[in-house]
Amino acid sequence: MTCKTSTTLPSGKIMMMRPQFREELRTQCHREREAATGGAAAPVQMTEGWSRYYDAAKDGAPRETLLLALDLFESEGVAARAERLAVDLGCGEGRDTIELLRRGWRVLAIDAEREAIERLRARADLDSIAAARLETRMISFEEADWLPADLVNSSFALPFCPPDHFPALWKRIASSLRRGGRFSGHLFGDRDGWAQDPALSCHRRVEVEDMLQAFELERFDEIEEDGKTAVGEPKHWHLFHIVAKKL
Ligand SMILES: C[S@@+](CC[C@H](N)C(=O)[O-])C[C@H]1O[C@@H](n2cnc3c(N)ncnc32)[C@H](O)[C@@H]1O
């Protein structure tokens, strides 16, 4: 699916911060756009920290890709199984992790940023029963490993893996999933406005399709649209929204 819009978006690039934005639910593409942009300003420069992103995202709803994956599991009756493990890669302040816990999953939440883990652990909606099913790890994608999982979720985070580490990371994601397990999340396309940043992992559609060969595609939406930052800078978005089941 490709959406073109000239809607002015209320967020922007501030100093070294990467712009992402919360789009009002105004057009037929509104949900994809909101998800596509993370709903808030997201810094790429790790030295700048992710605080502004976490502040902006803290009341954000779980991602649609995650919700679809969870609904699909539940429609298969997997909800009844006791030992379901989800890995939330680049969990941030935990908008997806908290939904996984709410729906009864065990969750390994991984993020390189101490602040992300601290914010997740301090969430008011993380009760002690849910917390007992939560493991958190402050570690980079490059170093992280985990046990076989039913779901690997990564919302707006994998593109921040350094490109030279991305192939190994994707291999770990795919191989860690049990048969019938799912990946849900997002990737940046090669026409994204940030695609020339050598620190980011962006992919051509054919590359994403290749990565997903061992999966049945349950959602595979390619979103491409023009928007603006809050300071009026034009920004081109090119994203893939993915829910895929391991064959
Ligand atoms: C845009 S935020 C997304 C957070 C959350 N998944 C969401 O949808 O709101 C990206 C997250 O990925 C984390 N991240 C970025 N690069 C990382 C890396 N190399 N290893 C681990 N985490 C990383 C950041 O700390 C940040 O919390």
Domains and CATH numbers, the chain: 7-246 (3.40.50.150)
Condensed to tens digits (0 to 9), the pLDDT of residues 25-40 reads: 222 233 333 333 444 3
Tell me the C-alpha distance between 107 and 171, whole Å.
20
Q: What is the DSSP letter of 27?
A: S
Per-residue pLDDT band for 152 (boundaries 50, 70, 90) equals very high
pTM of the model: 0.83
CB of 159 sitting under 6 A from ligand 1: no
CB of 155 sitting under 6 A from ligand 1: yes
CB-CB neighbours of 223 under 10 Å: 20
Instruction: Look at residue 31 in the predicted model and tell me its pLDDT.
Output: 36
Q: Pick the residue with more confidence: 29 or 164?
A: 164
pLDDT at 12 over 50: no
Q: Whose CA is nearest to atom 27 of ligand 1?
A: 92
Mean pLDDT throughout 218-233?
73
Per-residue pLDDT band for 83 (boundaries 50, 70, 90) equals confident
CB of 57 sitting under 6 A from ligand 1: yes
Instruction: Look at residue 229 in the predicted model and tell me its pLDDT.
Output: 34
pLDDT at 15 over 90: no
Per-residue pLDDT band for 82 (boundaries 50, 70, 90) equals low
Instruction: Look at residue 128 in the predicted model and tell me its pLDDT.
Output: 97
Q: Is the distance from CB of 31 to CB of 60 less than 8 angstroms?
A: no
pLDDT at 130 over 50: yes
CB of 112 sitting under 6 A from ligand 1: yes
Q: Which helix (H) or strand (E) holds 86?
A: strand 85-89
Condensed to tens digits (0 to 9), the pLDDT of residues 56-75 reads: 888 899 999 999 999 999 99
Instruction: Look at residue 79 in the predicted model and tell me its pLDDT.
Output: 58
For residue 95, what are the CA distances in angstroms to 58, 129, 135, 179?
7, 17, 15, 26
CB of 201 sitting under 6 A from ligand 1: no
Q: Tokens representing 3? A: 């959406």
CB-CB neighbours of 222 under 10 Å: 18
In 3D space, the residue among 89, 93, 36 whose CA is nearest the CA of residue 60 turns out to be: 93
